[in-house]
Chains A and B, each alone.
Chain A
Amino acid sequence: MLPETINEPIDCYHCNLPVIEAGQFQLLVADDMREFCCAGCMAVSETINGSGLSSYYRQRERPAIKPDDESSSEINQFRGFDHASVQADWVQNLDEKTSEAAFLLLGINCAACIWLIETYLQKIEGIHSAQINFTSNQMKVVWNPQLVKVSDIMLAVARIGYQAQPYTREARYQLLDAQRNQLLKRLGVAAALGMQVMVLSVALYSGDWFGIDENIASFLRRVSLLLVLPILVYSAKPFFTGAVMSLRSGRAGMDVPISFGILLAFFTSFWATVENSGEVYFDSIAMFVFFILGARYIELNTRIRSSRAIEPLTSALPVIADRLVNTAANNTQRIPVAELQSGDLVLVKPGSVVPVDGQIVEGASSFNESLLSGESHPLVKKIGESVIAGSINVEQVVTIRVSQSGDKTVLSSIQRLADRAAMEKPRITQIAEAVAGWFIAAVLLIALLSLTSGFIGGNPDWLATTIAILIVSCPCALSLATPLALSAGSNAMIEKGLFVARQHALETLARVNHVVFDKTGTLTNGELSLVRVRALAELSAAQCTAIATALESQSNHPVAHSLRLHTGAAMTPAVSHLKSFTGAGVCARVERRNYYLGSADFLREQNPGLKVDPDVQQDWYQVDKISILLADQNRLLAVFMFSDEIKPGAMGLIDTLRRQGIRTTLLSGDRHQLVEHMAQQLGIDSVYAKCQPQQKAEVLERLIEGDDIVAMVGDGINDAPALSLAHLSVAVARDINLSSVNADMVMINPHIEVLSNAITQARRTRWVIRQNVIWALMYNFSAIPLAFMGLVPPWLAAIGMSLSSVVVVLNSSRLSRLKPDPKPQVNQGTPG
């Protein structure tokens, strides 16, 4: 079986490019000897054929893209993707035997490509599934990392002539940008030519009214036809490809009736133009295409904006940091941030961005974290406090000890959560799409009915009626209603520092009627602070505090930490003969006198003759505080009271929640007295004290068994099991590593009261979605009968359809514009 005669030009069987020298690359494919233009094409075809997938060549609509010849040398390049450090960003290891990652596919141009890649990959042992999304060019692969490596997957894709790249944010942005520019061009063509068509049809309409020379009318129609052609071929192309795609996969997509409407209108008008009789609908076509493209452009822009909502953060991060080489001489060395190790000291100048997560070891300054948390007021931070990458140092030079850098910072974790959320399709959108699918099927049926009944019944307007039905019923509004409102809603939340990590979170948050709080770190600051100093002798409170700080200067206890925040290192007197009794207290010499600091029991033990005022004694046993006493050899000098302060906004939050009709529960591992006292103070409905993580989970289990929709707010560390049980989990994350947190929402804003705003926002989002859906259904259900009765001309149908979409778009954009909450009271949290 020889190839065709040598004289005739032969096209490569794989890529359809001309074969320069016949007979050089030949291969037996499906019992025929085929010619190839190069070794690359032949190798690809061999792979496809060898895996029994040669039906690809019968099904494809377009020739394949010529593979790169260097594909063999790319193997080494792919191997680089096997490094754990490269994979950290985009490969998720679900368990030992399952990994999941998304790839960006290049080179796919028709449905057959998808079939080919999916089938080919799934034949490889160790790959559980490969799913490709045609519109986003995204491939999701689940595989067993023990059998298959990432490079194997990429190589396999390359072997059949495509390219798989990591689906990173950068890659997606580029793709989205390209999509948007393409759409913009199509929109521009439709707009420019549509206007011309409109001008001509005004002439034609007034000609119908006042009379027009038949030659001129015929000329105008022909020109209109000419102008509409590019709109049809270029601007409306995505509708046709979309319609073909959805018909092939057996679904009734929105593009199907749109394409039918456009084609029907065009061929009727075409016929009328040729025959010089009957109506032309060129203006309706132009308007229809322009408006639908416009709606899609707005939708795409919303999508781009939400996927970029936090992008300014990474671009704000510096690439160069000043590492402190010699602490004494303040010698710094400029090195790339990527080379910083944890434990390194970094100098951050005022006005610059903090490059890493870390603790302040020298200096104090205020930091603007607005990029990250939405909190516009700079926060004052001192030695020992944590700063996060991405915040801006406002006042002073500080030295920071690096704790996390690169992709382990809070910032990167948030971005990963965002990426994951962007890939999920919320249930509510899926429902809307399914409804729209059925709706379209019904519309097509109605249109068919109108077509046949009009044809048989001899209605002169049967074509116009059918076109009007197809155009007016476009469920654009219906399918835009939910996604637009959802993304506008979650964008508004991100601005407030509440991050939606799971797409269902907004829906669930709107229905929540019971909020469970973890105590420490959620409703309280999570650290002890000195709230009161009571001086009992002639020494002033400040002097006593300075002495106490000196005594605790070597300690790591929270009390010591809090004291140090209160008295700077310069003010602390020198200390000697320091003796520490673990869990009880310390004694030491300061300025040639012995001092004791500790609990009452410890002081009595050290100095049995100590006299204590009963009034003072009462202070020691306040339920919500911890008291520490300072004494010298013969008398009591001062009482220090520490407490884990309730966050300033907590009271307001619980109050607002109650007014929103939401019940509250407090969970804590602390002792009953303390927890109950706090619940009483805040007005929390029910209390569970002395709960270990496991018991917290049990409480949650009981709660979700009832009818309540339970949201759990916690720090995500010791209440992780409970968080995972709740209908909605909100992690209050500040200085911890978020990658360990698996919550539906993450609260980055330090002000806990944003939670009630978020609930309001979620409820409003749900309300807007309902409005949108009701409006869209109402519009469609009233417009279709009218169109069926022939009361709606095609041009009016086009206006009606686009107006209904515009209403939905504008209604949804209200969500991102409304900012109902007054700025929360800023409390710097300085004790004293």
Chain B
Amino acid sequence: MTSLRLLGLGIKLSIAGGRTVIIRLVLMSIGLATGVTLLLGALSVPPALSAYDLREGVRYGTVDPGAHGVSNATLRWWLGTTFEGRQVLPIAVEAVGQAPVPAGIPRLPVAGEIFASPALASLLSSSDGELLRPRVPGRIVGTIAPEGLLEPDELVAYVGASPDLHIPRIWEPEAVTSFAPADRGQGSPVDLGAIVLLCVTVVAVLLPIAMFVLTAIRLSASTREARFAAVRLAGGTQTQVRVLAAAETAIAAVLCVVLSVPLFLLARPAGNAILSAVAGHPSFPSDFSPPVPAVIALLLVVPVFAVGVAVLSMRRVIVSPLGIVRHAARVRRGWFWPAALVVGFLGLLLSSVGRDALLELSSPIPGVVIGAALLLILVGLAGTAQWLGWLGSRVIARLRPWPSVLIGARRLEAEPTSANRVVMSVAVLMALAAVAEGIFLSATTYHSIPPGVAALGSDEVVAHAYGNGDENAEAWRSLESLPGVRSLEVSSRLPDGGSCRRSCVAIVRTDGRPETVERIRNAVGWSGEVRTAEEVRKDSSSDEPARMVQLLELGMLLVLLVTAANLLVSTVDGMMERRRPLAVLSAIGVPTSVIRRSVLFQVALPLAAALTLGMSTGLVVTGLVFRIAKEPPVFPVAPLLLTGAAAAATVLLVTMTALPWVRIVRRPEFLRSE
């Protein structure tokens, strides 16, 4: 029989295999499709970042340093302002000779004309934008096309330069000679670092999914293998049985390919939102797209890879007509994983010792050395976590503990690749959490708000003028007559501690209404900058660390849920596979509570090993990373313990939902051998 016909027979057998096979197929397909979707998302990150860079390049263009005397250029004034907390960017432009035209508009606006982004055009034409119109005066003659925007909802406008704008004389324009994107050069070390970070994140997220797929492949293994034995009895060869085994995975892989594309399209807005949060700016969803050749390659490689893994997973199994002979999967090479971990640590340690020499190298070597050491640590950590769980079970079993612990420890010792493997991702997660929380905590420490800013009242507005003292004093007096302004205090000191020319700053106490703030902005115009107390505080601090911590927590929650679901499935399946021994235990008088505790122990021990190892590794790596960066280290012990406790609670709680199955599997009918 040819391999294709065999594959067909395998597919037929799989589909006719009943409810368990369908559940296995569905779980495998979901796991694979989720993995492929994540990979598609990861592949979309570099194009999305490049697209933003390209849009910025097109917006900025090529600027001639000498604005005076240029013959063919667009003179440009950046007139940034804030309206009700949102950034608004009017760009005043004026043509000189054959002036280049910015992307997204058909021509340069003349005095009194505006090309506005769709969002700004809509705002200006609505009653909500009434108090913004004085700062963007003129007639809207068209909208800026998406290629001229940085963000989908950007509030930007090209305004024809005119005296009505009241741009201060001291404000020199830029002379733009071309809006073609400038050559931004080859990849910098920062790009390399970002790629390493991306790789590490993808590995951390894909690991639990890979574990989930492996668990799904092994679901009801004994029933499946009994079927293969029957095929051998009917004359099938060992190779033919392997092809049959691959058929089921092939179905799941095809389903995965079919599912992953719509799944990615569904998840794309969320992926784009996450990237926007990380990058600190919104992006166009259409920019968040993987390169087509990479998509085709991925969708072709995944089924082949999945089938290959299924065939390889049978290498330890000899299917004979009388049943299955399984080569025991003993953890003999346990030393390899701790060794990889130690080598990774040494790599980082050497990088920290020779950091100056390393960082002087103008090549990607520092990034590669540090990235390789980090990847080695992650791989070593995953393997060591599994090995440590097995080692712990061996030691505990030797101590002849309580029956529940003994049964659990012996089970872990006999099958070292079950729960131990699933919790590998928890170890990796904890290590990454330690490093990330250390870095973010350190960043938070550096962003403390100055006392002057902290002392600002919520109804106060800081106006900062660009002109000289006499002009300012004039301007501040005009503010006093505005509706909603209660008092005004002129100073030469900025709330954040900085100083400026005489009378450059006015602290205006208002009635707290947003309209009053906008009126003050309109009155000051482009002669100065007006910020509310809240905006000053926001500028003096950075919300990036907090945003990153939130993203990290979201990612950890997702990984934990996948891991917990994986443990739940493998625990239930493990009990169903062992229903006869469990029924015997019940028959000989072993209380259900002992069996329940042994099931919990089988999760708790590897989990404890993974948490401890992950946290310790994370703290060591944090110390080394700070040493390399020449920064005082911040060890996030308290948040890490909290994260660890939350992780343990989540995983154990989800696993506990499997415990009612103990009552089912200990039923006496499983004792029957007829």
Partners in one complex: no
